[in-house]
Structure 1
């Protein structure tokens, strides 16, 4: 067997594991181990990966995605509205960073400041301002409205296009166990490495395809789909965070050394994933049928007129197969895609980002972060009856129910049961009315503080 080569340059020296999707952008790591360290892995980090990670910090921080190489979440900027006054917050890492002692927020004109009382008094004194101008408020009794500064241009930047091309190429090679450099990939390699080439990456503007992805993908998840177009070239769809779908042309035709061209992998925020790797579209129904081979022996197998009846069950989730078949209908008719920004794509992207960031994707990592940043085990918890931060109130409610149930061991199934039992669905919209209802439920219990502490400890112990 020949030695592995770098799929970009063919060297056999210093091959390393390349994160196909930078781990600063995902909680579910996938790798390609045929990329050289010096010429390509490190260089691509410098050329575009670190740039993209920094510009998407406003999103990854909100989605509780943190690089394994960092001790903290990526920092971002936001506007904080307090009692009608807007302040500029820079380099935020935690949700309540601006409330930390010594942290000061200034309004845009730099005429008004917000911070802990001792720091504000010191600022007033140093500027010759009478202390009567300093007003003390209880942070538990006021609402903080945070507005993120969304960097829309990053999704249409050359750096993003090269990043998307790298993701698609390394993933396609990993799915086909490609372990050397091939000239058939020169076009996409030149684009990734040197930024040379045109029409390698485009944005899918087709409504049907975008809707199909939205139906299948969870909020904040990434989804990769390998397919062959009507023209015979090999492509990969890359759905980033469930908000924008790119199309990447891998090569001009099906290659003998790449037998798998019906591919799917979905990577969720909670690190779970779903995937299949098939030769072509004809294998989809065959693979689905094979899932019904399992026999469910949990229930009695009744005898009807002397014939034993078995209960077949699916041995794996086939939602990905169904999703792919829906995509095929759109692909067979051709679909709309653009290489550059259009107003239609921009408006759709803004709506998708707002919908994603206004929601709350609950998983182990997100809950642990919330408890670490929000729960003060020594000073206790004080919820404001006037607070309207829907995300926080929703998670406080989950901790409250968890504390009441006080299970011996916390796991994903318990969390899902709590959500389903209390809301009747795994996806819901936290309206103003629902927010008030669950907040009232918490505050009506005189022991809510200690109950939330119990729930918080269960989350911290969750392995």
Structure 2
């Protein structure tokens, strides 16, 4: 029997569907049983493109680049130079005052760009063109973030598609099954009843944030107290959704206990089992009693390289939460909005101190390092100031900071915390510390060269 599309059953022109859209992850995950045009390509126009565009800042900051393009996602921003606001669509802050890029003010009265490019404009003359030094002016970047995307029908259809295609792929579903009709109707026509809900229990958010890696996607399937099969989708560690895949476990779908994490560095961590009882048994059997002396016995993993054990422990010990305490809601509450906003802020701040983020920052600013960095005395971009400060302390360390782990140790000691809130006050102090050192430019360049030599781990 030929394989068919899991949405409509046709057996011709099947394609490999990216379960999570390619532009939202560095880790590829495929379902090979989706017809190419109607139920693969068309989903992009139906709902995926809208979500991808509205999450451009997130994917850009997380160093996620679609395999279909060479550039990072561009996002809308408002750049304040002096007392004037300018509109800019950028992929990197280095685009703002380099190359030939021009920005028009929000009120439409002014144009800002390289003086040579401005003078090429036909209407430009000495009376309406003036030269400014942006290195001596206060510059601020603001990025409007539309939180409504997390509660939009486009997002709900996309996470339903992710949950459905993932569950089918893990269970080797080879064609359309009628029991999936409600979720198929929801994905393809935005109807079919209640399929996607928002998880509102703060305990679940804390559980995932403590368990999975920064910026990861995580998917988890379970059978609920009403016997329905569901998939929890933790998107970037920002928002968590519950997708009702079908009303009951199906004979042809063996695995209803599933977990998978997709990290920013494209690693997959996953396990599968038939039900919670078997998972508990298999987890216990993963350990063996070992005599550790003084009459004491400890349970030691049989396979010390098994990276799934902590995730299985999380699943087993928190099953009651998934089973009946997700606190599912249809519309966002202020509590959930606050949770998501705090997660975004934490994620964007954490992106400053990853090896991917540091290497990208060095690469994008390399031309300026070669020419000699000049810090803007009036600069207010907190993240840029913090990134320059990382280079500054690496350059100051005289070779003692040899890798990202050494940097984490120094940061933890310096800021007396595992987490860092880059507040206005902290940013000002770091800025002043760098400017007060006459060799700050040389030290940052030295730090940049050290980071350039680091390897991804």
Please classify the TM superposition score into its range, dividing by the shorter chain length: 0.7 to 0.9
Q: How does 1:223-242 map to 2 (within 5 A)?
A: 223-242=218-237
Q: Deviations over 1:219-271 (max 9, x none)?
A: 43211110100010000011112121111110111112212111111222233
Report the alpha carbon displacement of residue 204 of structure 1 after superposing the two structures with TM. Answer: 1.6
Contact map agreement 1:64 1:366 (CA 8 A) in 2: yes
Partner residue of 2:262 out of 267, 275, 280: 267
Partner residue of 1:147 out of 142, 146, 158: 142
Contact map agreement 1:17 1:31 (CA 8 A) in 2: yes
Contact map agreement 2:224 2:324 (CA 8 A) in 1: no
Contact map agreement 2:233 2:240 (CA 8 A) in 1: yes
Contact map agreement 1:224 1:266 (CA 8 A) in 2: yes
Report the alpha carbon displacement of residue 56 of structure 1 after superposing the two structures with TM. Answer: 1.8
Report the alpha carbon displacement of residue 184 of structure 1 after superposing the two structures with TM. Answer: 1.6
Partner residue of 1:114 out of 112, 115, 124: 112
Q: Deviations over 1:366-421 (max 9, x none)?
A: 334322322216424333455453433443344456667899xx9xxx32333234
Aligned: 1:130 with 2:127: yes
Q: Which residue of 1 aligns with 2:388?
A: 396
Q: Which residue of 1 aligns with 2:245?
A: 250
Contact map agreement 1:219 1:361 (CA 8 A) in 2: no
2-structure distance, mates of 1:415, 1:21: 29
**SS of structure 2 residue aligned to 1:79:** strand
**SS of structure 1 residue aligned to 2:249:** coil
Q: Which residue of 2 aligns with 1:353?
A: 344
**When the two structures are aligned, how many residues end up with a matched partner?**
447
2-structure distance, mates of 1:207, 1:303: 42
Contact map agreement 1:19 1:30 (CA 8 A) in 2: yes
Q: Which residue of 2 aligns with 1:298?
A: none
Report the alpha carbon displacement of residue 285 of structure 1 after superposing the two structures with TM. Answer: 3.6
Partner residue of 2:211 out of 210, 216, 236: 216
Report the alpha carbon displacement of residue 69 of structure 1 after superposing the two structures with TM. Answer: 0.5
Aligned: 1:336 with 2:348: no
**Shift in CA distance, 367/16, structure 1 to aligned 2, threshold 3 Å:** farther
Q: Deviations over 1:330-372 (max 9, x none)?
A: 2444442222344443344334333433442544543343223
1-structure distance, mates of 2:77, 2:418: 30
**Shift in CA distance, 71/406, structure 1 to aligned 2, threshold 3 Å:** farther
Report the alpha carbon displacement of residue 214 of structure 1 after superposing the two structures with TM. Answer: 3.1
Q: Which residue of 2 aligns with 1:86?
A: 85
Contact map agreement 1:103 1:115 (CA 8 A) in 2: yes
2-structure distance, mates of 1:402, 1:170: 45
Report the alpha carbon displacement of residue 280 of structure 1 after superposing the two structures with TM. Answer: 1.6
**SS of structure 2 residue aligned to 1:67:** coil
Q: How does 1:46-61 map to 2 (within 5 A)?
A: 46-61=45-60
Q: How does 1:279-318 map to 2 (within 5 A)?
A: 279-293=274-288, 312=300, 314-317=304-307, 318=309
Contact map agreement 1:401 1:455 (CA 8 A) in 2: no
Gap runs ≥5 in structure 1: 296-300
**SS of structure 1 residue aligned to 2:93:** coil
**SS of structure 2 residue aligned to 1:68:** coil
**Shift in CA distance, 440/287, structure 1 to aligned 2, threshold 3 Å:** farther
**SS of structure 1 residue aligned to 2:275:** coil
1-structure distance, mates of 2:192, 2:292: 65
**Shift in CA distance, 399/179, structure 1 to aligned 2, threshold 3 Å:** farther
Q: How does 1:412-423 map to 2 (within 5 A)?
A: 414-423=403-412
2-structure distance, mates of 1:384, 1:129: 27
**SS of structure 2 residue aligned to 1:18:** strand
**Shift in CA distance, 333/22, structure 1 to aligned 2, threshold 3 Å:** closer
Report the alpha carbon displacement of residue 217 of structure 1 after superposing the two structures with TM. Answer: 3.6
Superposition RMSD in Å: 3.4
